[in-house]
Structure 1
């Protein structure tokens, strides 16, 4: 940052908002954007956490300010854009990362469990993007929208009805925004991160990877390559790339990253098609469905490979 200010930085002069950036992946994104020259509006619901994030960025020579507020409302979205413009003079980049979890299986999930997750992830993304795009369009800025998805939104996961719906919805919105924003020169993309977080630290499957990371060592290749799993810092460069002029031609995409792995997710496409003269009645479906589609039905959930013996957790889950 301070040492690199004399060198050419790809985001020099740019201003970014990163929601949910007080810690974890969001903080990694904010730090990376700042290291590439952008001024950053940090957002968190905790004033101390937000302040610490700003101090970490400015202490390394970057520029940052904080907005302490939960995303979801139009008021917060407006406050974030106003903070960027009033503090740093403009807005160029929005990263919608803020999120919450309320994991429960379907019959145990309450209305509130569902609504809270959808409000933060989906409504929070929607209101923030609407506010940012309005500013971009009014000021003729070829801005960048980067929304954070999840493998759960792509594949589903047990106990995450609300989260799966939210993350799938975000990718659907991104595809729509890419169409709507094209004429204005604004790009919209989704990032699908796989990384060590506070949640994965409690999962025995990842114990050896987390232990290595906490010792300051590289995670074993099995995690970094087979699973595309690594620390949050491995995800952050993709955020900066998509925010830069180098990615001006990339829009409407869902890009996965983690560890040593980079992936481009496909859009949903038909995998098989059949026709029946006069349309499909029940009898025709009963006769023909399995023959056409039986061998092509799509899998759900993520299929995890078996851990090598030397990376398996011990009896205590470590």
Structure 2
């Protein structure tokens, strides 16, 4: 599998999961537009790719406004000659219980996660459709959007909404050959580092050691690198037939989510890197990829109406 000649945008890619996605896409051959609000983080992310022989540039701007979405597409086209892949990862947290959550807490999270995903996908899909690009849209969700989580009304609403939009876009973009999928990662972050339950996993990772099997296998909890392979896979030609899906990944575990339960679970020792995905993903998911849109039975004859104009 190769992404040579492809151009990708990854929002919120100055650090953490977003940086892992950008680095993996670059490792597979794609040129990458980095995005972050922190100029230093963005510059460091670009350097991590270019120093390894890849191609990258940065757009330092907050995700949410249409102007940022347009600037990201313009940077991809002007710098690298086109756009094939969009990964929407940018996010922010304002965690509070319902009765303590302010309007600003809610609007800020919705604005970055949900509106930011919408504006960036709209800009990218418009370019792809107008230029005949069979592109790849990959939106980052969360288990919170699938299950809910105490103190995260705003985040749960945004992440659930992203999956709903992805399924809608899969329908709308199918004719253009553009796929739209959501990735639901479970990985070590700055937030999980503060939770005592994950301490052993975080300590092992900080020492450069593999996390205990309980975390990687039983919980499907791993590093940001473990979540990057699925993003690169979905961005490739190998995944041309995969669209409208919510795909969970973490540690050694891969899942396809339905509403609201996963319908298939598979494990691969050492994690789901790109070679493992390329070799096993079709067989693992065969018969388990979810349908898109509602399915209606044929109307009874006495309820059928002539088509307009007839």
Aligned to 1:162: 154
1:21-51 deviation line (CA, Å, top 9, x unaligned): 0000000000000000000000000101100
Change in 2 beyond 3 A, CA 1:268/1:158 = closer
- Is there any run of 5+ residues in structure 2 with no aligned partner, and where? 262-310
Q: Tell me by how many angstroms 1:115 deviates.
A: 0.1
1:38-49 equivalences under 5 Å are 38-49=30-41
Structure 2 contact 147–260 (Cα < 8 Å) conserved: no
2:240 aligns with one of 234, 248, 268: 248
Structure 2 contact 9–76 (Cα < 8 Å) conserved: yes
Separation (CA, whole Å) in 1 of partners of 2:66 and 2:155: 21
Q: Are 1:150 and 2:142 an aligned pair?
A: yes
Q: Are 1:193 and 2:185 an aligned pair?
A: yes
1:35-184 equivalences under 5 Å are 35-184=27-176
1:235-291 deviation line (CA, Å, top 9, x unaligned): 00000000000000000000000000000001459xxxxxxxxxxxxxxxxxxxxxx
1:66-88 deviation line (CA, Å, top 9, x unaligned): 00000101100000000000000
Return structure 1 stretches of 4+ with deviation > 2 angstroms: none
Separation (CA, whole Å) in 1 of partners of 2:190 and 2:233: 25
Q: Are 1:233 and 2:221 an aligned pair?
A: no
Task: Find the structure with the greater CA-based Rg.
Answer: 1
Structure 2 contact 86–124 (Cα < 8 Å) conserved: yes
Q: Tell me by how many angstroms 1:223 deviates.
A: 0.1
Q: Are 1:221 and 2:238 an aligned pair?
A: no
Equivalent pairs, count: 261
Structure 2 contact 146–260 (Cα < 8 Å) conserved: no
Separation (CA, whole Å) in 2 of partners of 1:267 and 1:231: 26
3-state DSSP of counterpart to 1:190: strand
Q: Tell me by how many angstroms 1:10 deviates.
A: 1.0
3-state DSSP of counterpart to 2:124: helix
Separation (CA, whole Å) in 1 of partners of 2:225 and 2:233: 14
Q: CA RMSD in A?
A: 0.8
Separation (CA, whole Å) in 2 of partners of 1:92 and 1:170: 20
Separation (CA, whole Å) in 1 of partners of 2:116 and 2:145: 16
3-state DSSP of counterpart to 1:48: helix
Separation (CA, whole Å) in 1 of partners of 2:208 and 2:162: 34
